[in-house]
Structure 1
């Protein structure tokens, strides 16, 4: 499980800066009150100080202190939220998730995609390996709606493709011969989580799935 050291350092540094700023403003606030009291005690009777101005300054200074304390609280809440998201992401390990995508894993002679067709028709299916090389091309009919497409790993030259990640491309046309767009989804077992990006990435082999793109989760017995 990968964890970004840069992200952690940044969060710690930010929290320390906010805390230090809040502490400094609090000390300056006490000094401000002391100066204010001294000025009021030693003001000239012939030229008294404007108390309204002092009051306005006091309110403004208190507002700045309150804002810094609010920022400190928000930083703490963000840290707690990030920790909660990380905990939730780890909970996906061992579960089968479904997400939008065209790349899935061939394992033990089976790879499967969920396909959604807006209308019935025919489609040319092209399957490529991780290097982008075409390993299989097929033509088949589809009905309208959700369905699955399974591939047994056989290539166009009649040999068995090795286990790994493969990407499907569907060039579909309806009965009238007009081009239509087929949507594909993949499912797979989550075996890890990557925290190096701003959004935790669920790992299905070498496939990365953003946690906010997960459509469904199924956990085995």
Structure 2
């Protein structure tokens, strides 16, 4: 019921925005025609104004008017699509999922990943990048064998606090012999809640935040 109300409210807001834009355009267009008519009435009969120029102005204004109306319609479509996506995401609550955990969300000074080395890593370098692929931070530490949490406080390598948003991790690790080992970043667990504040719904699995687009499997049984 709450999702339906939210969707209806979003659609109503989008409709209200479109109506307001149309009213502003109508008012501006009327003002433009009034100025045009006034100019024509007060033109010098011995030196009349160029009607072709006025015609071109009318055509250009009509084109801008149509473009703005199209933009309003697109905004309304995007709003409705987001509401639909949010309503669908609520179906994940209580479900057991497996997701690609390379990407997570930084919020309130914390971003967390689940790292699972094949075996103990004497040295593992975690490289964190923003949504544009720019490296913002690197950390090096040892990792024990098995699943474990890695938390980043949002501090970049230069000491600045990174903005909230989506970040990804890449792990390069070696064991005591210097042999490279694979570190799995998949997230497995039950969805306890959903964050709908961003552009894409984010699922909360334990302490990990997983975008809906990263989900690979639903209802998989967790190994014990």
Same fold flag (TM > 0.5): yes
Distance 2:190 2:91 in 1: 12
The alignment of Structure 1 onto Structure 2 pairs a total of residues equal to 164
- 1:114 Cα offset (Å): 9.3
Provide Cα deviations, 1:93-131, integer angstroms capped at 9, x if missing partner. 2322112349xxxxxxxxxx89686xxxx5359xxxxxx
Per the TM alignment, residue 218 of structure 1 is displaced from its structure 2 partner at its CA by 2.4
* Displacement over 4 Å in runs of 4+: 9-18, 37-44, 113-117, 168-172
5 Å-filtered alignment, 1:79-90, equals 79-90=79-90
Give me the whole-angstrom Cα distance separating, in 1, the residues matched to 2:58 and 2:121.
74
Q: 1:85: Cα distance to partner?
A: 1.4
Q: Which runs of 5+ in 2 are unaligned?
A: 4-8, 103-113, 123-142, 151-170
**Residues 100 and 172 from structure 1, CA distance in 2 versus in 1: closer, same or farther, beyond 3 angstroms?**
farther
Please say if 1:74 is aligned against 2:56. Answer: no
TM-score, structure 1 normalization: 0.56
Unpaired runs of 5+ residues, structure 1, are 4-8, 103-112, 126-136, 140-148, 151-165
Q: Aligned pair in 2 of structure 1 residues 50, 187: CA closer, same or farther (>3 Å)?
A: same
Partners of 2:181 and 2:220 in 1: CA distance = 34
C-alpha separation in 2, matches of 1:81 and 1:116:
39
Q: Is the alpha carbon distance of 1:212 and 1:219 closer, same or farther for their aligned partners in structure 2, counting shifts above 3 Å?
A: same
The RMSD of aligned alpha carbons is 4.1
Change (3 A) 1:208 1:38: same
2-side partners of 1:205 and 1:10: how far apart? 30
- Which position in structure 2 is the counterpart of 1:105? none
Determine the structure 1 residue equivalent to 2:92.
92
Query: Structure 1 46/73 Cα, relative in aligned 2: closer, same or farther at 3 Å?
Result: same
CA contact (8 A) 1:202 1:208 kept: yes
Q: Report Cα offsets for 1:119-174 as digits up to 9, x if no partner.
A: xxx5359xxxxxxxxxxx866xxxxxxxxx68xxxxxxxxxxxxxxx527995549
Q: Distance in 1 between matches of 2:91 and 2:10?
A: 25
Quickly say closer, same or farther: Cα 1:55–1:138, change in 2 above 3 A: closer
CA shift in 2, pair 1:138/1:24, >3 Å? closer
| Cα distance in 1 between the residues matched to 2:67 and 2:210 | 38
- SS state at 2:186 partner: strand
Provide closer, same or farther for how the CA distance between residues 41 and 219 of structure 1 changes in structure 2, counting only shifts above 3 A. farther
Q: Which residue does the alignment assign to 1:167?
A: 149
TM-score, length of structure 2 as denominator length: 0.55
